[in-house]
Structures are given as structure tokens and as C-alpha cells.
Amino acid sequence: MSTLLDVRNLGVRFHTQSGAIDAVSDVSFKISAGSTLAIVGESGSGKSVTAQAIMGLLPRVAEITAGEILFADPAEKGKVMNIAALDPESSDMQQIRGGQISIIFQEPMTSLSPLHTIGDQISETLLLHQNTSKQEAKALSIDMLERVGFPEPARSFDSYPFELSGGLRQRAMISMALVCRPALLIADEPSTALDVTIQAQILKLIKDLQQDLKMAVLLITHDLGVVANMADEVVVIYHGRVMESGSTRDIFANPEHPYLKALLKAIPHFNMKEGERLVPLREIDHQAGNLLRNTDAADQVDDDVPILSVRNISKSYLNRSDKSLLGSSETLGPIRAVDDVSFEIRRGECLGLVGESGCGKTTLSKIIMRSVDPDNGEIIFNDRGNNTDLLDLGDQEMIPFRQKIQYIFQDPFGSLNPRMTVHELLSEPLIIHRIGDANYRSEFVQELMNLVGLNPRWLNRYPHSFSGGQRQRVGIARSLALKPRLVICDEPVSALDVSVQAQILNLLKDLQEELGLTYLFISHNLAVVDYIAERIAVMCAGRLVEVARREDLFRNPLHPYTRALVSAIPYADPDHPLDFDALMEGQASIPEHWPDPFAPRGDIAAPLLDTGSGHLIRAFDLPSSNEVIA
């Protein structure tokens, strides 16, 4: 295959107030026509800066200081252009950008204009780069929307980004990138923000379109499981320099550089041995002080008595369709966000709650925290032998229980006040609940910093001065400030690199053991939940569809939705590819498309049946072993 893009000794420097920073140094690689090359590394390693240099989209404070970016224009045989030498505003660069080389950004919601329809944004690319009329551009845009799997492409053409789900927004971004049929597609973390099943669908879509359009793909990611399933060649980059490169099979079979070996050890996988720990690049050195250990969470009580019992919780929302900006609205009927959910969490255990976005996980956690009131049900909290229904309590009566149940949010930056220092953030819960005097709070806050492996000297810093993993540790310290007995972890590692993810998961496991904590761990990543949880509850369309011990769930998943989730997890092993057929063509999360005896019968949902040993499955009849294997 001929070389389409040849990056030679690329160097990119940022000029900041603190001085010059070399973000990329001496980076070289080649991409052949029709092939896929993956650039792998952590956040800040220089992956996206390399892509920006190729696209001519570097910020004003950055400059290319060395090297060449040679692009062989397939439209003009034998013509090779050095993108690094082109003016980013020149007509030649503008013709390449979007016409011959396109990019899919990591976050579609911030990349798409909220003021323009999806169709207008896709058509704009055609009108800029090709000599087409508006009618022809609309027809081609609708055709591309159909190619990427939009259910109603003609109708979706007039939709705005906020009206679409995360998966459809990403498909709209792919449509915009591919509508001009580029020779090279740069996919910058195209599936990081997506559910595991949606991620698998997007990866399959990119592979299918790559074969259909005969284009090359430059995949930028930190997920080695995605790399193993998508790439022909791999470039591993760290601090702006190439650490290792080669074919995908060689990289995974014979990793040589210590950085790559460390990345592979940091990934949670299903065949981990009992007691085996993830190995992050940098371990967190943490310690619990005397004030933290002096907590009633370590009281000796009956471990078999559930600390939390959720019984028959339901929550519905009205679905309104606005007819006009100032006109009346039409009620289309209720949406059941949570539908008759029941489960128990035993003291000291970690229960994993998994499912796709929109299945009701976060709504359920907000109901437990009493920030959302359910339509019916009970939430029984066992406070050292005293059972209390939290739903019967008023706002003032709930205050003591808010100390005992705390929350770790998904987005550490969004959940921390940017105007408060870390000292103020950690001491605020103590002030609100009138715990201790100023000296006690000062000492306790320092213990909290040591507990999560952060230097107490950083207490006067603001959240923006920390990395993503460090901010998440501040969030964990804040949630532990009131010495809770139950901690709800809502996707606490989904936005983190694999090595930082390993740090946080190990820290949570250590804190659970040292402080006697109980976790409800919410995630869409089964491999992460497998590492940290003892039991797992699978949620879909507002209902629990399967509940089992970790080892039972992964050794013998019974429900079709659980099997789809398991099959959608990309392994960091080229010999274990994704099974795209098991995803039921994107229908796995729609109960009406499940086979009998799992599908609802009219308006009647299947009950939760016990197959033995506490393994529950939502079905009208227990499936036979043959049905399970099928």
C-alpha cells in the first residue's frame, strides 16, 4: 500500500506565560492508504496536539518547530504537500482540512453548534469543499445520515444536537467528517464518552465505512482494548515522544518499553486472579490518620443485615412535546425512569450497578440520596440496628442521615466549586454539620489529604491547578469528610485515563477495607465493576434484569442484555475481537426485541426469578442451558 501521510521528526512548542513547553518532540510515523494507525498514550502525552498539527488547527500559542507532515493527495497522483509548511489560513490548507483529511472530536456536544440543525452543519462541509447546490448537499447529507445508522435520516436532518442521544450525536459528527469522502479520517477519542454498547456500535460503524470509502484512519485513544480491535499499527507516545511502535500483534504479544508494559498492567480484565491488583504507573501513597479511624463505621454489627434495602422504587416523568416556542405543549405520556426496582446492600460490600446511559442508574442514586422523590417504594437504612425508611423523613430529619450516606460524582471538575480552595472544599461539610472547632477541622482536613495520597501543602490550591485524577481524589476526600457508612460512586473513573483509573480503583478498594465502607458503585463498564464489586446488578430501561455474584455473572450471564454488555467490552488482545453480532444490531437495550421468555408480554414485564445462589434473572421462565448458550 502507498504511503498517504508521512510525519517526520515533528516538533510542536507552546509559548506560555511560564515559558516554552515542547508538547511534541521528534515524532515520526507513516499511514498507508486504507490502513488504521493508532496513537496511544495518556492525557497530556501529545496525541491530540499531533492531530491538531496535521489538521492545521494548532492554537495561536503553539508553533511547529521541526519536522515535516507530508500528505500525498490521492486526487492528484504524485503530488505531495508538506502540511507543516502551509499557512493554516491558506486555500490549500482549507481544501485539505475537511475535504481530504477530516476529524472526529472527542466530545460531540461541544463540537457541534447548538444553534444550527444537524443537516445544516453536515451540508456546510459539502458547500465549502465541493461544487454542489443546496438541494444536492441536502440529498448527500441525508444519504450519509442513513449510512451511519440514523433511524429516520430525513427527519433527523432538521434536528438540533440537544435533541439527540450521545450515540446519535457522535454519528452526526461522523457524518460531517465523512460526507466529503476524505482519504484520511482522524478519530480523536471517538468513543471515550459513550456507553460500552454504543462504543462498540461506533467502532463497527467506523470499520464498515472505512472499507466502504477506502479511507485511512488515524485513531487517537488511551483505550488499548479499542486499539486491539481497530488498528493495524500502533504508536505509543509519552510526554510528546514515541516510546514504541510496530504492528498491533507485535505490540501486544511482545511489549518492550516499560511504559507500554505498565499501561497493559493497569487495564482491568475478566481473567484476573483472586487478590490480584491493578498496577498503575504511579502508586498512591496514602494513610489514614487517628481522627479518620475513630469512626462508628468500624463498629461490630451483624454483617448479614443489609445496611440499605431498596424496595419497589418507581419514578416517572411526564414527556412533553413543545408545539412552538410560545405555544402550548402536548403531553405524550409518562416516561418510567425507574420501574419497580428492589435490591439490598450488605454492610461492608460493594454492589455494582451497571447499565447504559438513560437506564435509570443515576436517577435511582438520587432517589437514595433524597434529592429526587420517587412515586412509590421504600428505602430502608440500617443505622447500627435501627431501621429507618428515608422516604418518611422530612428535610430536617434527613440531615443526620446525610452524614451517613455520601456521593462521589462522575465529573470531578464540575462537582468542585472553582472559587474555593481545597481546604475550603474539604472543611465545608464539617462547618455545615457543625463538627469540631477550627483546630480540629484543620487537622482533619490534612488527614483527608493524606488519606487520598495528596500533599497537605496543596490545600491552598484551587481545583483547576490539579490533574483529573487528583481532582477526583479531592472529590473522594470530600465525600469521606463526614465519615459516612455508605458511599454512592457514580461513574467515578469513566472520564480518567487507564493508569489514573487504576489508581482510583485501588484507592477505593483500600479505603473500603481500612474504613469499613460500603459502596454502591455505578458504572457502564463491566470490567471496572468486575474488579471492585462483590455482587453486580444489571439495569436496563428502568428495571433490574439480572443480579448475581461477580463470578457467576461473568461465567454464566443469562439475560440477553447482560450478554450484549459483556460482548461489547473490547479486550486488549487482538486474538479476542469484539463480537459485533451479539449486540443485536443496537437493539439489545430495547426490551421488546429480547427473545422469549425475557421480552415483556404486552404491558406486563417479566418477574425477577431466582436461579439459585441468589442469581436473579428477569424472565417469565428460567431459560434452559441450551437457551443460555445460544
Q: Which amino acid is residue 587, in one-letter code?
A: Q
Identify the band that residue 626 occupies on the pLDDT scale cut at 50, 70 and 90.
very low
Query: Region 597-612: what's the mean pLDDT?
Result: 89
Identify the band that residue 297 occupies on the pLDDT scale cut at 50, 70 and 90.
very low
Q: Which residue has the higher pLDDT, 39 or 523?
A: 39
10 Å CB burial of residue 192 (0-12, 13-18, 19+) is middle
Return the closest-CA partner of residue 351 out of 559, 523, 97: 523
Beta bridge partners of 604: 601
Report residue 404 CA to chain centroid gap: 28
Task: State in words which class domain 3-265 has.
Answer: alpha beta
Domain-by-domain residue ranges, the chain?
Answer: 3-265, 290-319+332-629
β-pair type (216-221, 36-40) = parallel
What does the pLDDT read at residue 509?
A: 92
Per the listing, cell 488547527 goes with 57
Q: Specify the range with the lowest mean pLDDT, choosing from 185-199, 256-270, 382-396, 574-588.
A: 574-588
The percentage of residues in the chain with a pLDDT greater than 90, rounded to a whole number, is 49
Query: Region 541-561: what's the mean pLDDT?
Result: 91
Identify the band that residue 330 occupies on the pLDDT scale cut at 50, 70 and 90.
low
Helix axes 196-213, 166-178, angle to 10 degrees: 20
Identify the band that residue 333 occupies on the pLDDT scale cut at 50, 70 and 90.
low
Highest mean pLDDT among 67-76, 116-125, 188-197, 290-299: 116-125
DSSP letter for 582, please. G
Cell of 489: 460512586
- Report whether pLDDT(515) > 80: yes
Instruction: Please provide residue 452's backbone torsions phi and psi, each rounded to the nearest 5 degrees.
Output: -100, 15
Query: Region 48-55: what's the mean pLDDT?
Result: 93
The region that residue 62 occupies, defined by phi over 0 for left and psi between -120 and 50 for alpha, beta otherwise, is beta
Q: Which amino acid is residue 349, in one-letter code?
A: E
Tens digits of residue pLDDT in 184-243: 999 988 877 677 777 888 888 888 889 988 899 999 988 888 999 999 999 999 999 999
Greatest alpha-carbon pair distance for the chain in Å reads 80
Distance from C-alpha of 83 to C-alpha of 52, rounded to nearest angstrom? 11
Q: Classify 472 as helix, strand or coil.
A: helix
10 Å CB burial of residue 293 (0-12, 13-18, 19+) is middle
Identify the band that residue 501 occupies on the pLDDT scale cut at 50, 70 and 90.
confident
- pTM of the predicted model, to two decimals? 0.83
- Report whether pLDDT(545) > 90: yes
What does the pLDDT read at residue 326?
A: 46
- Report whether pLDDT(55) > 60: yes
Distance from C-alpha of 362 to C-alpha of 366, rounded to nearest angstrom? 6
The 10 Å Cβ neighbour count of residue 350 is 23
- Report whether pLDDT(291) > 80: no
50 HSE (CA, 13 A, CB side) = 38
- Mean pLDDT, all residues of the chain: 87
Tens digits of residue pLDDT in 454-499: 999 999 999 988 877 888 889 999 999 999 999 999 888 877 788 8
Helix axes 438-451, 422-432, angle to 10 degrees: 120
Fold equal for 3-265 and 290-319+332-629: yes
User: 529, 536 in Cβ contact below 8 A?
Assistant: yes
Distance from C-alpha of 71 to C-alpha of 391, rounded to nearest angstrom? 64
Per the listing, cell 446492600 goes with 345
Distance from C-alpha of 628 to C-alpha of 559, rounded to nearest angstrom? 8
Q: In what order do the strands lie in the sheet with 80-82?
A: 19-32, 3-16, 62-72, 80-82
Q: Classify 185 as helix, strand or coil.
A: strand
342 HSE (CA, 13 A, CB side) = 12
Instruction: Please provide residue 416's backbone torsions phi and psi, each rounded to the nearest 5 degrees.
Output: -110, 130
Between the CA of residue 204 and those of 20, 107, 191, 200, what are the distances in Å? 41, 19, 11, 6
What does the pLDDT read at residue 338?
A: 93
Q: What is the CATH architecture assignment of 290-319+332-629?
A: 3-Layer(aba) Sandwich (3.40)
Q: Classify 372 as helix, strand or coil.
A: coil
Return the closest-CA partner of residue 311 out of 285, 342, 287, 347: 342
What is the b/e burial string over 595-606, where b = at least 16 CB atoms within 10 angstroms of the residue's CB? Answer: eebbbeeeeebb
The torsion angle over the Cα atoms of residues 98, 101, 102 and 104, rounded to 10 degrees, is -160
